[in-house]
Structure 1
Amino acid sequence: MKLSNILSSVNQVEKSKFINVLDHICREAMEHDKELAKRVHSLDGQIKHASSGDIVQLFKLVLPHFEKAIKEQLAMLGAQASLLTNIISRDGNSIARMTWIESLYSKEWNSIERLAKETETLLDTPSNDESLLSEQQRLSIYYACLKEAYLNDERHNREAKITDDERGILNILANKLDITAEHRSATEHLVNQIPQNGIDDCLSSMREIGMLFIRRKDQMVFVADELVALLNRIQGKELADKHLLRILRTLSDAELNNVLKAHGKRIRGIERKEKIETIISMGLTTTAMLQNDICPQEANVNDRKERLKQLIEDLSLNLDKLGTTLDERTSLIIASLNNSTEAEFNILSATGFKEMFASLQQHFPELTATLQTEFEIEDNEPLDVDKLRALSITPYDILYVLSNEDVKLVRDSMGLSKRGNPRLMILESFADATDKLIENYAALAQRDLNKLKAANIDIAEADIGVKFEEVTKAIFEQLGLAVDEDLRRSINTSKDKADIILSLSEDDVIIGEAKTCKSGDFAKYSTTSRQVKAYVNRFESSGKRVAQVLIVAPSFSDSFIESAEMDTEINISLLEAKGLKLILDAYKSRRNPKFTAKLFTKGGLLKAELIAKNI
């Protein structure tokens, strides 16, 4: 979930914790950062009174200073904070209850404790391996250096800890000695044992330095997407595990074997799934794996560059350039995957995403359990598209959780072409289904089942209202508007549920309502106005400014239009469904359309023909 949406979903006390951290870092940084000082002064220096949008902008501006502060504070918090950082920055753990994080911590601690004992036994056993450096010898060197880095402070009467500089040297040493991430953690556990308890206190300490938010009323922990990316950088993690999984799914069995052999791992009798899991758990740097490991040792630079070019095609990465060197191509792949989330959500509309997820659940009834296991999601509530979106799990991520064979089964059962990337074929098929509903948008608004069936759209009458809402979102998305599902989910309650939220800026929104009507004009103004006024109050109490309420319906009665125009409490715009479709058609027909959401803020019944003419 984005930082702006988390700020909207936590209370003022929790929000103030983060603002205080930001304020402290700003004050220190302003002394030598003129641009930052200028931005702060534009707020009259009152960061504590800034809006959510201003806070997010300040966070982006102060990010290098913020990252440095987090890195320093984490080193002071010790091994327990390092382990928790690894957990909360992993895929699917950015929103979780404290009890769930405790269970993940306990599982991880037990695993490290077990491996630490095995490592200790190995270190104490005489080596009969006469090779240049056996695994035992490599671990022994790393253990000795890590122990020295940790304990050398005590000789100078200082608290024992590993500094940033020492950590950097140890990371290079571990890479050169080919020490896996698991063995690094286990070895450090031998030198500086990770506490088994006290997780709540450690999370609170991490909250105090601005790493996370804790909503006390339900004990929910939130880690903003921007902070997850920051924590990955601090940990030296080039790619999230879900993106590394995509690369590994794309590699051949021979290439997976090359990676495992390069690091002394068994390959005989090991299933493909286990090979992939082993490589992910090893914590290899993506750069080294792509440049050195996937190709045979005798491959030259040109061969390796060609393999990366093919990988870019296999992953369907949309790059402006391919790069001319091995380093450039590697960097482009990593950067593209790291920045892919927003574009991948835009591949499918909200409707298309829900339909794809429902279809995959029919093919694989165990899909929900698989996703919960893969992304470590607690099973205390149903897993739906809204939850996945909040966790930044995209349609691509779901399809890559499935094996290549499973994806091909889905493709074949859907009757799709066997040429091309099967995952991309599946995604495009659900995008096409949404386009068909958009073409019949007016019939959907009028709940005209006969017209929908004539267009080969099979839909139950009970589902039309929800489908109309979802297709309306899809149209707004195609108009280039920011349909903010994260914000809608974070602020909606079981009682007050706005249909659509269009974000104009970090703080300004349009609240949208999509209403179907089977016969005649939509005329329920009193009921509708009570609904939208409740939504406006809720959003404004969360620090948002509601620029307009937009109601979309097949048509409106004269009394409805008059009441909306005369309402002095809120600003309401009305738009007929056929008019919205007309605007979309005009938008698509222009090479450089000029359209803004502010065209929906004029109030009263909007003249769609005039808007379409001036796009």
Structure 2
Amino acid sequence: MKLELILDKLNSFEKNSFLNIIDDIRKNPKNVKKVDKILDAETNPDLKNVDSINIAKVFNLIQDEFAEYVRKEFVNTASQLDILTDIIIRDGNCIMKQDWFSRLYDTELKKIEKNVKALEKSFESDKSSEDEQRKRDYKIYKECLQTAYSNDDEKQSDRKITNDELSILLTLSSQLELSQEEIKLINYIIVPIEKQPIDNVINDLKNVGVLFYSKKHNTVYVADEVVRVLRKVRGKEIADKFFRRVLRLFREPQINLICKKHNIDWRQAHEQKIKEIINEGISFSGALSTDIFKDGIKVTEKKKAINDLCDKGLGISPALKGAALEDKIGNLIKYFEDVEKDEKVGISIDGYEKLLLDMSGTLLKLNAQIKDEFELQPENVLSGALLLDYNIKPRDVLEIISTKDLEKFCKKREIKTRGNLIANILDAYKDSENLYLENYENIGFRNLTALKENDIRLKESELGIKFENMTKSIFSKLGFNVDENLRKKLNTKRDKIDILLNLGNNDLILVECKTVKESGYNKFSSVSRQLKAYTNLAKSNEFKIVKSLLVAPEFSDDFVSDTELETELNLSLITASSLINILNGFKKSKRQGFPHVLLMRDVLIQEDRILKAIKK
């Protein structure tokens, strides 16, 4: 769930710890000017009084500083922050009732204790099945950790690992290619685990700012934005669901090589091996650069394999850049980061609901399968809205289902089985209008690449008309009378108005739409001439233009400044992203119609102010 939505659910006390941390960090971040600009727009810049939308924007600008703050908390070896962080960054663990979190915590501790004993036993045994080189790596890390932890005894100080020592240990673990799970087990050989009451655990994590707790709902919330930061802190480069997507494209011998490298039983079933590779916290880049290859493989062969993975296996288009192997893998990680941040579902939300309903009728164990895979607590999880709160999208669900079951479903619903089954199913459940609305900004930016990635096929010559039609649809959904008959009646061969909103009593709002390929719309003189001509046209037919609106994906600072100086048009500017966000906010409100006076005030319309107003 997005940070903004979580903050809206909480009272002041429940947000305090997080806001205090953000308030302390935001005083001197690298993006201080951008942060100040956001807060200066507020009536009261005290974070406790700042709108949730703007707090989320501030957090996005100070993520690096927040990550550094959290890293320092890992120095406290008794905090169990590594165990708890590994729980809350798993797919599906961003919203949990307290008792569910407690159960996951207990399960994790038991698993660690069991694995710690097994690892200690392997250290002591000469007959262990582990590779001798790997056992040597473990012992090196263990001895270094023991020294770092216990060298305070000489000074008669409390045992702790300093920031400098932690930095060295991280470098060492990286060079030894240890997974997060291997590091964690060795850590808890040196510092035995002590189970803590769940109330203390939640309170400690709340004070660190990594989760929120609603007493009213007895629920733990971890924001999607915070999960991404914590993942980086733990050295986890991509979400588990994306790692699973890649692992399923590897051949069995490649999966076995990863298992052997990291002391995982390679004789297990294929799906179980994939699950354990993910749970071990094995480095994604390490798996792709070394683990899946036998010794002696040339770099050129590795590069070809990764290129085939990206181009053919994952079907990424256009092809990812990167001459060096590291660059290619880095760009693949960036690709998955962008996919995760993208709020678009791939099909419409209504389509998601219908897909889940239809699948549950064919695959009777689907509910249990989704619950088990993503560790979800609710009894019935077959709801698109619920799954999206957990950032679980349609493709994420389809990727946990076996090929046999996907084929069974396709045959039952008469969906073609040739080619990519998942792509075929998603294509069958698209709702074109909602999908276009979700990509409204991409249409405005004439971003054909992004549209193609979201399975929208439009020619460049069609984008302007499509943007105009989507804008009409948005104003209609806001409750405006988009008067097409009057528009056609007023239009001449020379002057062609894009959109007219009829307020009654001969009062009109004039809407002009502009798409733009380059960043920032900056053609004020030409658009002002157009709008003046349209205003005169309406006036000559005894209509009054009470407001002119210009909708574009983005405006340059110069364009905004020129608009501020314009006195004849009563012109306001609104970006495509603001307009679609206002529509989404309006849908969640209880209002029957949108109050058009909210569009009358700003030069560059501020969505935050409007969203706040329609919530009341």
Q: Please report the TM-score for the alignment, with normalisation by the length of structure 1.
A: 0.69
* Residue aligning to 1:316: 315
Distance in 2 (CA, whole Å) between partners of 1:3 and 1:208 is 17
Distance in 2 (CA, whole Å) between partners of 1:70 and 1:283 is 19
Q: The residue matched to 1:401 in structure 2 has which SS?
A: coil
* Residue aligning to 1:206: 205
Farther-moved stretch of structure 1 (95-104 vs 42-51): 42-51
5+ unaligned residues in a row in structure 2: which ranges?
A: 444-472, 484-500, 504-510, 522-550, 554-575, 584-593, 600-616
Q: The residue matched to 2:26 in structure 1 has which SS?
A: helix
* Residue aligning to 1:158: 157
Shift of 1:138: 3.5
In the alignment, structure 1 residue 477 sits paired with structure 2 residue 469: no
Shift of 1:222: 0.7
Structure 2 letter corresponding to 1:279: I
Q: 1:550 aligns with which of 447, 471, 478?
A: 478
* Residue aligning to 1:289: 287
Contact 1:89/1:232 (<8 A) preserved:
yes
**Which residues in structure 2 correspond to 1:345-494 (within 5 Å)?**
345-380=344-379, 382-431=381-430, 434-435=431-432, 476-477=437-438, 479-480=440-441
Distance in 1 (CA, whole Å) between partners of 2:171 and 2:440 is 48
Contact 1:23/1:48 (<8 A) preserved:
no
Deviation digits for residues 199-248 of structure 1, max 9, x if unmatched? 31121122123211111112111111110001001111111211111011
Deviation digits for residues 378-414 of structure 1, max 9, x if unmatched? 1345441111100101111111112344334434444
In the alignment, structure 1 residue 192 sits paired with structure 2 residue 191: yes
In the alignment, structure 1 residue 82 sits paired with structure 2 residue 55: no
**Which residues in structure 2 correspond to 1:121-200 (within 5 Å)?**
121-125=121-125, 127=126, 133-200=132-199
Distance in 1 (CA, whole Å) between partners of 2:382 and 2:177 is 38
Structure 1 letter corresponding to 2:92: G
Contact 2:255/2:292 (<8 A) preserved:
yes
Equivalenced residue count is 475
Farther-moved stretch of structure 1 (186-195 vs 399-408): 399-408
* Residue aligning to 1:217: 216
Contact 1:79/1:194 (<8 A) preserved:
no
* Residue aligning to 1:7: 7
Farther-moved stretch of structure 1 (314-323 vs 204-213): 314-323
Contact 2:19/2:47 (<8 A) preserved:
yes
Shift of 1:39: 5.3
Contact 1:550/1:574 (<8 A) preserved:
no
Distance in 2 (CA, whole Å) between partners of 1:255 and 1:385 is 35
Contact 1:248/1:256 (<8 A) preserved:
yes
Distance in 1 (CA, whole Å) between partners of 2:9 and 2:382 is 20
5+ unaligned residues in a row in structure 1: which ranges?
A: 439-472, 483-512, 515-546, 556-572, 576-582, 607-615
**Which residues in structure 2 correspond to 1:85-124 (within 5 Å)?**
85-124=85-124
Would the alpha carbon gap of residues 411 and 111 (structure 1) be closer, same or farther in structure 2, given more than 3 Å must change? same
Distance in 2 (CA, whole Å) between partners of 1:405 and 1:359 is 17
Deviation digits for residues 56-96 of structure 1, max 9, x if unmatched? 22222222222222221343373422211111111101111
Deviation digits for residues 241-271 of structure 1, max 9, x if unmatched? 111110111112232223234445554x432
Structure 2 letter corresponding to 1:245: R
Contact 1:2/1:225 (<8 A) preserved:
yes
Distance in 2 (CA, whole Å) between partners of 1:164 and 1:424 is 47
Would the alpha carbon gap of residues 360 and 30 (structure 1) be closer, same or farther in structure 2, given more than 3 Å must change? closer
Shift of 1:587: 10
* Residue aligning to 2:463: none
Identity of aligned residues (%): 26
* Residue aligning to 2:455: none
Q: The residue matched to 2:334 in structure 1 has which SS?
A: helix
Contact 1:323/1:332 (<8 A) preserved:
yes
In the alignment, structure 1 residue 19 sits paired with structure 2 residue 19: yes
Q: The residue matched to 1:339 in structure 2 has which SS?
A: helix
Shift of 1:338: 2.0
Structure 2 letter corresponding to 1:309: N
Farther-moved stretch of structure 1 (146-155 vs 230-239): 146-155
Higher relative CO (CA 8 A, sep ≥ 6), structure 1 or 2?
1
Distance in 2 (CA, whole Å) between partners of 1:320 and 1:132 is 38
Deviation digits for residues 127-175 of structure 1, max 9, x if unmatched? 2589993554433332222222222233223322223443343334334
Moved over 6 A (4+): 129-132, 552-555, 590-593
Shift of 1:4: 0.8
Q: Please report the TM-score for the alignment, with normalisation by the length of structure 2.
A: 0.68
Contact 2:255/2:274 (<8 A) preserved:
yes
Structure 2 letter corresponding to 1:62: I
* Residue aligning to 1:241: 240
* Residue aligning to 2:453: none
Shift of 1:13: 2.1
Distance in 1 (CA, whole Å) between partners of 2:58 and 2:342 is 24
Q: The residue matched to 2:132 in structure 1 has which SS?
A: coil
Distance in 1 (CA, whole Å) between partners of 2:113 and 2:502 is 63
Q: The residue matched to 1:221 in structure 2 has which SS?
A: strand
Distance in 2 (CA, whole Å) between partners of 1:367 and 1:358 is 10
Shift of 1:348: 0.5
Would the alpha carbon gap of residues 81 and 39 (structure 1) be closer, same or farther in structure 2, given more than 3 Å must change? same
Contact 2:26/2:32 (<8 A) preserved:
no
Shift of 1:330: 0.5
Contact 1:574/1:603 (<8 A) preserved:
no
Contact 1:237/1:285 (<8 A) preserved:
yes
Distance in 2 (CA, whole Å) between partners of 1:89 and 1:74 is 16
Distance in 2 (CA, whole Å) between partners of 1:363 and 1:138 is 49
Would the alpha carbon gap of residues 128 and 343 (structure 1) be closer, same or farther in structure 2, given more than 3 Å must change? closer
Would the alpha carbon gap of residues 30 and 196 (structure 1) be closer, same or farther in structure 2, given more than 3 Å must change? closer
Deviation digits for residues 506-562 of structure 1, max 9, x if unmatched? xxxxxxx99xxxxxxxxxxxxxxxxxxxxxxxxxxxxxxxx999348999xxxxxxx
Structure 2 letter corresponding to 1:194: I
Would the alpha carbon gap of residues 372 and 162 (structure 1) be closer, same or farther in structure 2, given more than 3 Å must change? farther
Deviation digits for residues 340-389 of structure 1, max 9, x if unmatched? 13547341011111122222222321111111111111134544111110
Contact 1:17/1:208 (<8 A) preserved:
yes
Farther-moved stretch of structure 1 (375-384 vs 6-15): 375-384
Q: The residue matched to 2:96 in structure 1 has which SS?
A: strand
